[in-house]
Amino acid sequence: MLDAANYNDKRFEDLKDKLNTRIAYLTNKSYSSDRYNLSIKTCLDQVFILSGYIEILDDILHCSNCYKDFDEEEIVTKITTQLYK
């Protein structure tokens, strides 16, 4: 059984994996569009935003005091909302 801290760590790691998958998808989509002149509009700004969220999750995982004043549920909700835009 996982305690609360391990549960949150696993949840954050899973969220990081989803972010990395989405970044890879957007990057490949942009590359393919450019390479084959598909004119598919991709928003690379989204890649930078998602990359920033990975840094935030890393900070939360490695620094217990960095985000202690923030609500973890609110952070996860915001990241998840941005992930599926």
Count CB neighbours of 84 within 10 A.
7
| pLDDT value for 6 | 56
Q: What is the mean pLDDT of the chain?
A: 84
Residue 36 has what pLDDT? Answer: 81
> 32-46 b/e with 16+ CB inside 10 Å = b?
eeeeeeeeeebeeeb
Looking at residue 5, what is its pLDDT? 56
Low-confidence ranges of the chain (pLDDT < 70): 1-7
